[in-house]
Amino acid sequence: MGVPDRFQRLLARIQPTDTDHRAVKRHLDAIASRLNKSFTVKNFLVTGSYERGSSIHGHSDTDLFVVIAREDVLWGRRHMTSHTILEQFRQDLMGRYTDPATLVRKDVHCITITFRDAKVDVVPAYFSRFAVLGGKNWPLFMMPDGYGGWKETSPSRHNAYISEADKRCGGKLKYTAQLIKHWRYTRTVPVPVSSFHTELLMASGGHCDGVKGYATCLRDVFRDLAARGCRGLQDPVGISGVIQCSRTEPQRSSAWNTAAYSRDHAVSAVAAEYTSIPEAVRQWKIVFNQDFPA
């Protein structure tokens, strides 16, 4: 069995199951039902790796954009801080999830709810405007910027941008993103690399374009992450400013070190495919912290 067959086996093993999908749907329905009672909800937008098809089994992280009425964000004529709205969301959701096994906490841009079988990031947002991007009219929303203010984003435009790149390379981008996510979680402490960042990086950099196998795609992604020092990426869609790879400077440094280490072994693995399959497999086992088919 060659290296490409091993990647196919690994991909088959990490695909989300029907049980994973049912759990996510159940949690999304419950969250929506709760927030509908407390806020003037205009729309729920499921985004992130779950919507893009790049989530993996055991790590079903789902982003739920909750678009509320602008009036819910206003205090008089002024917009409330995003910290205030996030705290309102947190308190409301804590009233719904009182089981100690379900963790509800405020994160940088969202409220994260960690269930036994899934994790959902609930992002408060409100409509900003329509903008012509790539020849189409897209809705833009304001979401928390991590500092108490608000920043523009367009989940539907970002998803379309990544989907278009995935189609150009015959679906390899989505599966490479799954392999990157598997790589993240093979460590005791997951590599602090944003899935959204890496998917935008792959889409804008063409890492999966052309006649390439997953080994070469991964090598090129690790090369780019390491070359960039895992620093932020200017949004290729031109909406959200800089898309950070990691949340803090210590996390960025840690991610950079792991990406550079993985790059070196991925380079050796790709080179070894021409001379020794066992050596190539040994190198990929190092990249994936031994969680790679023998």
Domain limits, the chain: 3-287
* Residue 64 near residue 120, CB atoms below 8 Å: yes
- What integer pLDDT is reported at residue 254 of this predicted model? 97
- What integer pLDDT is reported at residue 238 of this predicted model? 92
Which of 137, 85, 134 lies closest to 111 in space, CA to CA? 85
205: burial class by Cβ within 10 Å (0-12, 13-18, 19+)? middle
- What integer pLDDT is reported at residue 49 of this predicted model? 84
Rounded to an integer, what is the distance from CA 11 to the centroid of its chain? 17
Q: What are phi and psi of 50, to 5 degrees?
A: -65, -45
**Secondary structure percentages of the chain, helix, strand, coil, to 5:** 50, 20, 30
Q: Determine the residue type at 137.
A: N
DSSP tag of 8? H
Give how far Cα 241 sits from Cα of 130, 146, 186, 246, 276, Å: 17, 13, 31, 15, 44
Which of 138, 210, 149, 142 lies closest to 176 in space, CA to CA? 210
Note the helical H segments in the chain: 3-14, 18-38, 48-52, 82-96, 155-168, 172-185, 195-205, 214-227, 249-272, 277-287
- What integer pLDDT is reported at residue 196 of this predicted model? 93
Q: Helix 277-287 and helix 249-272: axis angle, to 10°? A: 170
Which of 169, 179, 226, 174 lies closest to 4 in space, CA to CA? 179
Q: Which CATH superfamily is domain 3-287 in?
A: Beta Polymerase, domain 2 (3.30.460.10)
> What sign has the CA pseudo-torsion 213, 205, 189, 14?
negative
Tell me the two tokens of residue 1.
Answer: 């069995």
**pLDDT tens digits in sequence order for the chain, 294 residues long:** 789 999 999 999 999 999 999 999 999 999 999 999 999 999 999 988 888 889 999 886 799 999 999 999 999 889 999 999 999 999 999 999 998 899 999 998 999 999 988 899 999 999 999 999 878 899 999 999 999 999 999 999 999 999 999 999 999 999 999 999 999 999 999 999 999 999 999 999 999 999 999 999 999 999 999 999 999 999 999 999 999 999 999 999 999 999 999 999 999 999 999 999 999 999 999 999 999 999
* Residue 139 near residue 154, CB atoms below 8 Å: yes
Give how far Cα 56 sits from Cα of 6, 15, 178, 184, 215, Å: 17, 5, 6, 11, 18
User: Which residues make beta-bridge pairs with 292?
Assistant: none
> What sign has the CA pseudo-torsion 248, 150, 224, 59?
positive
Predicted structure pTM score:
0.92
Neighbours of 149 (CB within 10 A): 12
Neighbours of 78 (CB within 10 A): 8
The span from the CA of 70 to the CA of 40, in Å, is: 9
- What integer pLDDT is reported at residue 60 of this predicted model? 67
The span from the CA of 162 to the CA of 204, in Å, is: 9
Max CA pair span of the chain = 70
* Residue 256 near residue 229, CB atoms below 8 Å: yes
